[in-house]
Amino acid sequence: MQLRRILIEPTESLIYLERFVNDGSPSGFTHKYTTTKEYDPFKGVACFRLPLVHIPYSQIKLYGKVPSDYEAVFFDLEGNITFPFHPDCFKNNYEVLRNYQISESLFYVCPTSSGRTVCVKQEERLFF
């Protein structure tokens, strides 16, 4: 990748660098706690949508104050809180999560070199 491309296409360049250049911070857990091949940042899909699980507010125990920007996006009018899940985490917990309303995010995310984060790609802006 040429440095000139980073200046011309910063969003796509960041995604490329995060997926194919950054090798994370290798540790003893790097290979133990990783994503499935489908969502592997180096070999898997380029982007995907997140499963959203809508859990009734009455079944959630909150500690502290919920940030207003989170509240505006993830609380709905039916009294639910929407939780985005990584597809691997969703599959691993499906027996519990299937009891709730499930939908799919309207935005796409790209895998990052860390299995714990994704990059939200929306309107040429990135969020981790």
Model confidence over 64-109: pLDDT tens digits?
A: 887 777 777 778 878 898 999 999 999 999 999 999 999 998 888 9
Please write the tens of the pLDDT for every residue from 1-58. 577 777 788 777 777 777 667 665 555 555 566 788 898 877 888 889 999 999 998 9
CA 37 centroid distance within chain: 16
Residues 101 and 54 in one domain: yes
Contacts 24+ apart (CB under 8 A), 85-90: 85/50, 85/51, 85/52, 85/53, 86/35, 86/39, 86/50, 86/118, 87/38, 87/39, 87/48, 87/50, 87/51, 88/35, 88/36, 88/39, 90/51, 90/53
Of 53 and 118, which is predicted with more confidence? 53
Which pLDDT band, with edges at 50, 70 and 90, does 128 fall under? very low
Range of the domain at 32: 1-46+108-128
- The pTM of the full predicted model, rounded to 2 decimals, is 0.72
Q: Which amino acid is at 30?
A: T
Contact 119, 15 (CB under 8 A): yes
Residues 65 and 86 in one domain: yes
Residues 75 and 118 in one domain: no
- Res 54: pLDDT: 94
Residues 32 and 62 in one domain: no
- Res 22: pLDDT: 67
- Res 106: pLDDT: 85
Residues 1 and 31 in one domain: yes
Residue with the two structure tokens 């790609």: 121
